Structure 1
């Protein structure tokens, strides 16, 4: 799994398209697509999940932080099972970093920010590679294995 994060409108989507090409299944929360924990029916070798922070915000509207993280980790584990089921499969997860800056005044936005920070930590821990994109430039902050993605 390759996790990509960075600021809003900093070129994450363009960078992923340049790195991986456009032949992929692309699920985007920005296009009102739902978070899917079960992706077994997807037959593409490359799956891109974009807008993780939006899906996390939806979880925080219904569940407390503990349950959000539990649901999130179940989804990540299912995605990793999908990725490992075929040798050529690759999962790319894109999430905008909303954890910096001023702490929100509203309780629901603080919960969203906290859950997103924890979820990104969980993603980074399980990912083979983690990149931060700022102004269209990447910085790899984690890479395990032989480096082939």
Structure 2
């Protein structure tokens, strides 16, 4: 599992595509994190070989409208476990999770925005702990953290 984070519109998805581009190999299936957790989406991950899950921070925001912060984190860790198991089922599979870093800068005045920021930070920590590799992308350039 590879976790990639960085600022909005800093080239995270493009960096991943370039980093993993190997002639003759399949491209990534890019899927919104919100769609992966929506049973109505009907996604069949068994057909994917290289999966890029984008928008983790938006998944957190969506789940916070329905659940308490602790429940969101617990639910996320269940999802993370299932995604990790999917990757491990086949040696050729690659899972990349991308999330926009919203934890820096001015602390939001609005209570709900602060909670979103906090829970997103906790979720990103959970991803980083389980990931084999972690990169931060700023202005299209990576810095490897793990």
Fold conserved between structures, TM > 0.5:
yes
Q: How many residues get paired?
A: 139
Tell me, in whole angstroms, the C-alpha distance in 1 between the residues paired with 2:82 and 2:44.
9
Of the structure 1 ranges 117-126 and 38-47, higher mean CA displacement relative to structure 2 is found in 38-47
Structure 2 counterpart SS, 1:99: coil
Which runs of structure 2 are paired with 1:43-122 in the superposition (5 Å)? Answer: 43-122=47-126
Contact 1:51/1:94 (CA < 8 Å) preserved in 2? Answer: yes
8 Å Cα contact 2:57-2:99 kept in structure 1: yes
Distance 1:81 1:113 in 2: 27
Shift of 1:102: 0.9
CA contact (8 A) 1:56 1:68 kept: yes
Secondary structure (helix, strand or coil) at the match of 2:48 reads: coil
Write the distance in 1 (CA, Å) between the matches of 2:121 and 2:38. 19
Deviations 1:9-45 (Å, cap 9, x if unpaired)?
111011011112371211025xxx5233887643221
Q: Give the C-alpha shift of residue 54 in structure 1.
A: 0.6
TM-score (norm 2): 0.89
Distance 1:13 1:120 in 2: 17
Which secondary structure does the structure 1 equivalent of 2:35 belong to?
coil
- Which of 135, 138, 142 lines up with 2:139 in the alignment? 135
TM-score normalised by structure 1 residue count: 0.87
Aligned partners of 1:40, 1:80: CA distance in 2, in Å? 15
Instruction: Work out the CA distance in 1 between the residues paired with 2:82 and 2:38.
Output: 6
Give structure 2 stretches of 5+ with no counterpart. Answer: none
Q: Report Cα offsets for 1:68-107 as digits up to 9, x if no partner.
A: 0000000000000000000111100000000011111111
Q: Are 1:36 and 2:34 counterparts?
A: no
Structure 1 or 2: more helix by fraction: 2
Structure 1: state its 5+ residue gaps: 143-149
